Amino acid sequence: MPPIKRRAAKSVSTKTAELAMAVPQVVAHRLTRMALAGATPSARDRKEFERMVAEKRAAFSEACHAMAKRTARAQLTLASSWWQSLILPAPGRRPAAGALAAQMHRAMLSIAGKGIGPVHRKAMANARRLARTKLR
């Protein structure tokens, strides 16, 4: 596996593992906070609950936008590669299907990396911030 591909794979898998640890902590903190707040949350609690919704919306829309841009770029690259294999075939050989599969794999890793980045940043920041705050 080339070094760049290994770094990308590690990055996506590392971010996924970190998310798997941080998200339950954030959810537990916020659910506990909601339970303690009851029917009349304080101004501090309302601010946190509003922030929770706004952050998710921002992180997921940023992730969707980044993935859409990366997908469009990958489609152009793959289409260009396919056309080149038709127009300029290697003398005496057919284009290798493995090269196309490897290119598609790299593209998918890149798309996943772009999508997980904003969500990972926000979840990790929330986990750090909420770990420092007291519930009451």
Give the tokens for residue 123. Answer: 């979840």
- What is the residue range of 119's domain? 3-132
Please state, for a pLDDT cut of 90, what percent of the chain lies above it: 65
Per-residue pLDDT of 60-104, as tens digits, reads 999 999 999 999 999 998 888 878 777 776 665 555 667 778 888
Beta strands in 9-136 (DSSP E): none
Does residue 104 contact residue 78 with C-beta atoms inside 8 Å? yes
Does residue 125 contact residue 20 with C-beta atoms inside 8 Å? no
- Residue from 74, 28, 80, 30 nearest 55 by CA: 30
The reported pLDDT for the residue numbered 95 is 56
Give the tokens for residue 95. Answer: 């284009």
The answer, yes or no, to whether residue 17 has pLDDT greater than 60, is yes
Does residue 1 contact residue 106 with C-beta atoms inside 8 Å? no
Q: Is the pTM of this model over 0.85?
A: no
Q: How far is CA 99 from CA 7, 27, 94, 106, in A?
A: 19, 42, 12, 11
In whole angstroms, what is the distance from residue 125 CA to residue 116 CA?
14
The answer, yes or no, to whether residue 7 has pLDDT greater than 70, is no
Burial group, residue 90, by CB count within 10 angstroms (0-12, 13-18, 19+): exposed
The reported pLDDT for the residue numbered 97 is 65
Report how many domains make up the chain. Answer: 1
The reported pLDDT for the residue numbered 116 is 95
The reported pLDDT for the residue numbered 43 is 93
